[in-house]
Structure 1
C-alpha cells in the first residue's frame, strides 16, 4: 500500500468528509427540465457570450453545477428529442432517423406503445406536463398526450412564427392537448406563462414539468417584432432576415421567462424540492457562438453537438461547481428516472447514465463512450478521443488538447484510431439503417413539404 504524505492524507480526509456531509436525496422531488432549441455552446453569458447577458441561467449555474463536456444526442431537433423522451439512442426508432422530421410527415412518430420518460413517471404517480416544442410526430396518434403527458401546450412541428403561430406552410400549429388553439402572444412568453400556472397550482402529487422552448430557433423574431409579424401574417421562414441583436432579444426573453419559473417555484415553497436541469437540443445556428468548437448545427463536429448543461437543486447539488464529466441528452432521462425512484421498462433498457452522484460530488468524473450518426457523418467519443468520419475522410482528435478539432492524429496514433473505428462499426451494426435520401413521408397538417434549411 502506498504511503501518503500529509497533503495527500488531508485531501483524502476532506473528500471523505464532504461525501459524508452530502444530504440524502428527497424521495420524490419535483422535476423542471428546460430544453432550449438551437442554443449554441457559447450562447449563454456564463459560457462566454459577450454581447448580451443571460443573468437567470447564469444564476442557475452559479447555484449548481455547470457541464463543460455536455452533448446533444443529435445535431438537429428530432433525433435529440426522441433520445430524451425514450432514454435510448434515437437510431433504434424510424422517427429518430429523421434529420429532422418534416412538417409534411404524418407517417412517423414515437410509437404510442413505446415507454417514455413521461409515461414512466406518470405510472409512478407523477403529474406530467409538456410545454413548448414536441417535434416527435405530427399526426394525432403521436401527440404528447398519447405518450404519458397529462397536459400539453405547445407546437407539434418543427418551427412556428412567434406571433402568428403558423408553421412553415402557413398552418396554425399551437395546441392545447390534442386540439389546435388560437392564443394571442409571443410564443416564448406564452410558454413561460403556462409553466408558471402549472407550478403555482395546488399539487397532490409531485410534478414533472418539461419546458421545451422553441427559442432561439428561427424565425428570427424578438418580442418587439409583433407589428411586423402580424402585418406580414406569415409562416415560419428560415430565410427571414435576422441579426445578432434580434437573436440577443430572443435569448433575453427566454432567460427572463425562466427567471419567472424559478420565482414561481420559490414563492410556492417548492424550490428546495425541485430538481432543475437546463440544456439544448443541438449546437447553434446562424447567429450562435459555438466557440471554441468547429462548425454548427447539422454537423457532428463539436460545434454541432456540444451544448451547455446546468443542474441546480438547492441543498443537494453544491453551488458554483464546474465539471468536465462527459454527458449526453439521454443521461438526463436516466438521471430524472433514478432520482424520482422510477423504474425503466425492462423491455426498453435505458442507454443513458444517471449523473446525480457526479452532480452532488459523491462520484468522481468517469470516462464515457458515446456515439452519433447522420447522413453525412459518423462519430464517437471515448474518453477524450474522438473518431469522426465525413464522407470518405476519417479523423482522430484529442478533445482535451484540441477542442477545435484541427490536429488529426490518426497517423500518429493508429492503434487508437483503429480501436475507435472498430467500436463505432460494432455500435452502428446494432442500430437501424439510415433511410435513403429523399424518403420523407407526406401528408401532414397542410404542410407544403420539407422545411428550408436544417432544423
Structure 2
C-alpha cells in the first residue's frame, strides 16, 4: 500500500518492535458539551455507553478546547498546534475550502505519525479541514476515508464524499458511520489499527433521528437555563432534540463496544471519547458555540462571539486497558492541544523531533503519576464568517481574561473560582473605584503573560494590534 511520506527526514518514525501494541479508537462528536453527559452530572440525558467508558477508565473533569468552533479546534486536535499557526482561524466556509484553506501536505498529524509507525488508519465521518488534495484525509495519514469533507450534512440520508463524487446514502448518519466503522474494523482486526470515528451529531439540525432515540425524550421536561426574554419552550424543544441526537451516538457506541468485546479487542484497544468544543442552549442567552447567536423572545439575534467555559469545556474520557484505573477522575486542566502528544504517549510512538507542538502529554496523568502540570493556558478565536472578532484568552484556576483586539471596551475578566458561571464581567458595569486598582494589577499580569505567549506563537493579531486602554487609571468602565 502506498503511504504518504512525512516531509523532512527528521520526521521519520521507526515502527515499534517487541510487545503487542494497543489499537486506538478516537471518537469525536460535533458540538457536544460536557454538561450533556451523564458522567458529568447530567441526570436527564441518557448516555450509558459514554458513562461506561468513564466507569472503566478515566474522566477528565477540566478538559477544554482552545478554540470554540469546529475547524480550528480540529486542526489543534490533529496537529498539536493552534489553528492560527496553520492558517485556520474560523470554521472553513465552502468558498474558503474551494480556495484551498485547510491543512497542507507538510503538516504533521498524529495519524501520519501512527501510520508511519505501522498502524493501519481510517477516518470515518466528519473532516472539515479542507477538501483540496493536500488537505484530504488520505494525504493526512489515513489509509481509508468514508464520510464528508465539509462542515455538515443531513442527519438522515446524508451526502458523503466518494472518489467519484458526492452521493446520498440512505439511512441515519450515526448508524451509517458505525456500520462502516464495524465493517472496516472487521477487515483490519488482525492488524494494529487506529480508527478516528467522527460523528456529525449532535450538531444542528438535531433531528431527525431514529424513533428509538427520540421517544426517550418526548415527554421530558428538561432543566434549561432561563433569562430575561427567554423563550423557554423553544429552549426545551432544542434540548430534547439535542439529547436525542446524543443518544443516537451513544446507542451506536454500544453497538461498537459489543463488537469489540465479541472479537476479543475490547482490552486490546485504547478508546478515547471527546468532542470538538462545548455548546450553549440558552446558556448566557445564546444558542450554539463560540460563534453563537443571541436568543430572546423567540427571535434569533446577532452573533455573540465568546470564549465562555460553556463553549470551551469538552467531555474527555479515556479507557486505556491495563493502565487507567476504573473510575479515575483527573482534575488538571487539559486541552485538545494535548491530544497529539498524548495519543503518541499512550501508544509508545516517539513524537517526531521536527514538529514542535504547543501541548503537553497527559499520558502520565492517566497512569496516576505525580507530575507538574500547567497553571494557565491560552485560547484564540478569530471570527470572520458572518461576523468579525479577534479574541485571545488566558485562563488560570482562578481567572479568565478575554481580550478583544480591534474593539474598544469589550474585554472581559471573570473570577472563575468564585463565579464559575461567568455571570459578572469585572471589567464592565458598576465597578467600585476602590477595586479598580486591584483589577488593573490582575489584568496587567494576565496581559503580560498573554502577550508573551502571542509573541512565542507568532500570533498575527499581535503584530496588527494597537495599545489597549480599557479604563482610565482608577476607573472601571461602564
Give the TM-score normalised by structure 1: 0.78
In 1: Cα distance, 2:120 partner to 2:245 partner: 30
The answer to whether the aligner puts 1:133 opposite 2:119 as a matched pair is: no
Measured in 1, the distance between the counterparts of 2:188 and 2:122 equals 14
1:252 corresponding residue in structure 2: 247
In 2, Cα distance between equivalents of 1:409 and 1:86: 35
**Partner of 1:11 in structure 2?**
none
Contact 2:101–2:130 (CA under 8 A) maintained in structure 1 = yes
Higher RCO (C-alpha under 8 Å, 6+ residues apart): 1
In the alignment, which of 392, 399, 419 is matched to residue 378 of structure 1?
A: 392
Distance 2:185 2:50 in 1: 18
Q: 2:275 aligns with which of 280, 289, 292?
A: 280
Q: Is the 8 A contact 2:181 2:197 kept in 1?
A: yes
Change (3 A) 1:136 1:357: same
Q: Secondary structure at the match of 1:152?
A: strand
Q: 2:115 aligns with which of 112, 122, 133?
A: 122
Partner of 1:197: 183
Task: Return closer, same or farther for 1:296/1:134 CA change in 2, 3 Å cut-off.
Answer: closer
Gaps of 5+ in 1: 1-24, 166-171, 227-238, 436-455
Offset of 1:294 from its aligned partner? 11
1:93 lines up with 2:93 in the alignment: no
Equivalent residue, structure 2, for 1:387 = 401
Corresponding position of 1:213: 199
Whether 1:59 aligns to 2:59 is: no
SS of aligned partner of 1:128: strand
Task: Please identify, of 402-411 and 133-142, the stretch whose mean Cα deviation from structure 2 is larger.
Answer: 402-411
Q: Can you list the C-alpha shifts for 1:80-125, whole angstroms capped at 9, x where unaligned?
A: 101111121221111x21x210022212110022111111111110
Partner of 1:149: 142
1:265 is aligned to 2:229: no
Shift in Å at residue 79 of structure 1?
Answer: 0.6
Assess if the C-alpha contact under 8 Å between 2:414 and 2:425 holds in 1.
yes
SS of structure 2 residue aligned to 1:137: coil
Q: Specify whether residues 402 and 290 from structure 1 end up closer, same or farther in structure 2 by C-alpha distance, changes over 3 A only.
A: same
Give the structure 1 partner of residue 413 of structure 2.
396
RMSD of equivalent CA atoms: 2.9
The match for 1:185 is 171
The residue number in structure 1 matching 2:315 is 308
Judge conservation of contact 2:402–2:411 (CA < 8 Å) in 1: yes
Query: Residues 104 and 225 (structure 1 numbering): CA distance in 2 closer, same or farther, change over 3 Å?
Result: farther
Give the match's secondary structure for 2:258: helix
Partner deviation per Cα, 1:254-309 (whole Å, 9 max, x = no partner): 0011111211221111111211111111111447x799x99943321111111111
Larger mean Cα displacement after TM superposition, 119-128 or 267-276: 267-276
Residue ranges of structure 2 left out of the alignment (5+ in a row): 1-17, 213-233, 292-305, 383-388, 428-435, 463-478
**Contact 1:385–1:398 under 8 Å retained in 2:** yes
What is the alpha-carbon distance in structure 1 between the residues aligned to residue 43 and residue 191 of structure 2? 42
- Corresponding residue for residue 422 of structure 1: 448
TM-score normalised over the length of structure 2: 0.74
Query: What secondary structure does 1:208 align onto?
Result: strand
Distance 1:285 1:408, change over 3 A: closer
Distance 1:71 1:134 in 2: 20
How far apart in 2 are the matches of 1:379 and 1:431? 15
1:56/1:374 Cα in 2 relative to 1: closer, same or farther (>3 Å)?
same
Task: Give the equivalent residue in structure 2 for 1:336.
Answer: 343
